[in-house]
Amino acid sequence: MTRVRTTTNELAFPFSLRPMVKDDIDQVSTIERESFPTLWPPTSYRKEITNKIAEYIVCVCDHEYLTVTKQSNGWRRWLRKKGTLVTVKKRLVAGFLGVWYMGGEAHIVTVAVKGEFRRRGIGELLLIGSLELATARDAQVLTLEARESNNIAKALYAKYGFLEAGLRKRYYSDNHEDAVIMTTPDIKTSGFQQFISKKKKEFDLRYGTNSREYL
């Protein structure tokens, strides 16, 4: 599986991207409930992170941690019987994004940012990550749906070359709002890659230097 890692200038922009792992699921599920309170059933991320046609990435705070107390999973049987509690520090998850790959197309199925971290460039960083993943998977286009009323999100997607391609009527179950289908041009062309490279440089100038590599 292609993986993307983003390292950041820790003084300018203390966030980084990495693949979602099992230890992230509790935090990701909390962000999902906060962002999509009417979503039912909730996403089974334990299945999704093993889905061969999908990739999920998280944006983590490089200097903030979540302290969790849980029952030990130590190998000693007597420890498990006693239910020993251990304290674990986990990197704080600020947002996440999921992409599915089908028929030469990459489709963003979900993206969300934790409330207190919104409007800090994290959604944009996740979008950059999704474009890098789609490129590495040799997808021809990257697509998504956005609420028709969500002008902020649509403006961000348009900034990265997404064009409105149609509507899905009454797509959202909570209020039956239409979804705008948005898609990039062919991301494999040199013109689009140059366009995205320019956008990445603009992001770096605003938030701090970022370098990305595939693992």
Number of C-alpha atoms within 13 angstroms, CB side, residue 63? Answer: 7
In whole angstroms, give the CA distance from residue 182 to residue 141: 10
Tokens coding 31? 């962000």
- State the catalytic residue, choosing from 124, 145, 160, 207: 145
Tokens coding 33? 């409930």
- Strand, coil or helix: what is 36? coil
**Active site annotation includes 145:** yes
Tokens coding 165? 């391609």
**Active site annotation includes 55:** no
Nearest to 42 by CA among 33, 50, 55: 33
Number of C-alpha atoms within 13 angstroms, CB side, residue 158? Answer: 10
On the question of a cis peptide bond just before residue 19, with omega within 30 degrees of 0, the verdict is: no
Amino acid at 89: K
In whole angstroms, give the CA distance from residue 16 to residue 13: 8
- State the catalytic residue, choosing from 45, 56, 101, 157: 157
Active site residues: 145, 157
